[in-house]
Amino acid sequence: MIKLLGLYILAAILVILIDRKVMRDIPGINRWMAYILLAGGFGIWAYCLQFGHVVYGSVLAGHYLDKFVPF
Amino acid sequence: MNKVTNRQFRMLGITYILNTTLIHVPSELANYAKQHAYLSFFPAGLVVALMFLLLSKSAKRFPGKDLFQSLNGRHKVLGRVITFLYLIFFFIILARDIRMVADFTNVVLLPLTPIFIISIAITATVIFIARGGVQTVMGIADLYGPMMTTVVLIIPFIVAKDFDFSYIKPYFYVDWAGVGKGSWVVFSYLGQILALPFIFSSKDYRIRDGMYALLLSTGLLLLIVIMISLLVGIPIAESLMYPSYEMSRQIKITDFLDRFDMPLVGLWFPAVLLNIATSLFIICYGLKTMIPQISGKMMTSPIGLFAVVTAFWIYPNSVEVFRFDREWTVVALVFVIVLPIFIFLFHRPHRKPRMQEPREDAT
Domain count, chain B: 1
Range of the domain at B209: 6-344
* Size of the A and B interface in Cβ pairs below 8 Å: 107
Of B120, B294, B330, the CB nearest to A33: B294
Q: What is the DSSP letter of B2?
A: B
Residue B357 lies in a domain: no
The answer to whether A69 contacts B120, with C-beta atoms less than 8 Å apart, is: no
pLDDT tens per residue across span B190-212:
999 999 999 999 888 899 999 99
> In angstroms, rounded to a whole number, what is the distance separating the alpha carbons of residues B145 and B143?
6
Report the complex ipTM: 0.97
Residue B209's Cβ-side half-sphere holds a number of Cα atoms within 13 Å equal to: 19
CA dihedral (B61, B67, B72, B78) positive or negative: positive
The answer to whether A44 contacts B309, with C-beta atoms less than 8 Å apart, is: yes
For chain B, how are helix, strand and coil distributed in percent, rounded to 5?
80, 0, 20
Which uninterrupted H or E stretch holds B219? helix B207-231
Which backbone phi and psi does B347 adopt, to 5 degrees?
Answer: -90, 95
The Cα of A62 is separated from the nearest Cα of chain B by a number of Å equal to 6
Decide if A22 touches B, using CB distance below 8 A: yes
Note down pLDDT in tens along chain B; length 363 residues.
567 889 999 999 999 999 999 999 999 999 999 999 999 999 999 999 999 999 999 999 999 899 999 999 999 999 999 999 999 999 999 999 999 999 999 999 999 999 999 999 999 999 999 999 999 999 999 999 999 999 999 999 999 999 999 999 999 999 999 999 999 999 999 999 999 999 999 888 899 999 999 999 999 999 999 999 999 999 999 999 999 999 999 887 776 667 788 889 999 999 999 999 999 999 999 999 999 999 999 999 999 999 999 999 999 999 999 999 999 999 999 999 999 999 999 999 988 766 655 555 444
Decide if A51 touches B, using CB distance below 8 A: no
Residue B349 lies in a domain: no
CB B149 within 8 A of CB B211: no
Which residues of B are less than 8 Å from A29 in CB distance?
A: 291, 293-294
Residue B57 lies in a domain: yes
Residue B286 lies in a domain: yes
Residue B293 lies in a domain: yes
Residue B1 lies in a domain: no
Which residues of B are less than 8 Å from A15 in CB distance?
A: 301-302, 305
Q: What is the CATH number of the domain that holds B84?
A: 1.20.1740.10
Decide if A18 touches B, using CB distance below 8 A: yes
Residue B212 lies in a domain: yes
Residue B350 lies in a domain: no
Q: What is the pLDDT of residue B363?
A: 47
